[in-house]
Amino acid sequence: MLTGGLPRSPLFAGLDVSRPTAIGAPDVLRAPVLADLPAGRRVLAAWPVEQPGQGTTPARRGIELVSADPQTAQTLTTTTVPLPDTWLEASLTGFTVYVAGVVGTTAIVSAAATDTALTAAVDLTSGRLVWSVPDVAAQLLTDDTVVVRFRDLAKNELRGLALADGRPRWAGVAGSTVWPVGASQALVNLRTVENAWGGSQVIDTATGRPADSPLNGQPGWSCRSDEQDLTICSLAPYTGTDAVLAFDDDGTELWRITRDSGRAIPTVTAAWHGMIYGYTDAGPLVLDGRTGQDKAVTASTAPLLVNEYFAVGAASPPSPERRPNY
C-alpha cells in the first residue's frame, strides 16, 4: 500500500546505474543516501568495481562513489576508492558496499566481506579520498566520530575513528550491532561469540566509555531515529514488544510505555520528524514523538518507510485483529 504523494521527478529516471566492471550480485548493494550539501541536495550510491589489468598493471578492486542530482538524475561526480591488492584473492562471501552516511561534505563508504573490510572518507566537494582504514566496516556516524566494527571471524569488536583523519579514538568495545541514541551516544548489542546471551550497553561515541541509560542490561533493544532530533527504542527480546522509550538529541529519556503503564505497547515500524508510526492489536496508530501520547488512534497503515513525500506499508487485515502482516 502506498500512502501520500510522490516526488515530482523519479529519483533515478534517466540515470545509468549499470557498471560494466561491477563485481558481485545486485544484493551487494545497499540503498542510496540522500544528502543536503552546500551545493544542493545529492543522491549518493556506492558500487563495487573491478578495474581490469593492463600490461604490467594488475587488476584492482574498488568502491565507486557516485553523486547525482535527484531532480535531473544527472551524475555529478564519481570517485573510486581503491581496495588493497589482497581483495583480488578475498572471498566475496557476504560481500557488500555502501554509503554509511554524510557529515558536512564528507561521505563515509565501506566495503565488507565475511573476513575483511575497508572504510574510507571522501570529500564530496573535491572528490578527493581523505583517508581509508582497512579491516573495519562503518556502523554509524556522529559529528566527529565514525563507529566501526572490526572485521574478524574470531571476535566482534567496535572501534571509534576520528571523522577528520580516520585516526583511532577508542577500541576494545565488545559488541555486534550498534544503533545511535541521540547525537553523541550509541546502543551496543553486547552479543558476541564469547557472550551468546548478549545484553545492551549505551556508550559515548566520542570516547567509547559506558554511559548511564535505562537501555543498559536487558538484551533485545533496538533503536531508530526520526531523522530530526528524536530516538525511539523498542525492547523485543523474543516475540512482541515489551517496552518503548523515547530520547532527545542529548540522550535524555522523554517518555516510556511499558507493561506496567496501563497502555497497550505499540510495535514501532517507522519514525519521521516527530511522529512515531506502529500498531497494536487494535490496529495502526500514530504517536506524538515528544510526548508519547496518541496522535491518531486509527491510521490506514503502519508504514515501514516514511519521508516527506510518502509512506509505504501493508494494508491492515480485517477485524478483529488489524495487525499488519509484518
Give the pLDDT of residue 309. Answer: 82
Cα(70)–Cα(9) distance, integer angstroms: 8
Whole-structure pTM value: 0.84
pLDDT along the chain (326 residues), means of 10: 34 45 59 90 91 84 92 91 81 78 96 89 95 96 94 82 98 92 94 79 97 94 94 89 95 95 95 96 94 92 87 70 68
Q: Which three three-digit cell numbers place residue 151? A: 572485521
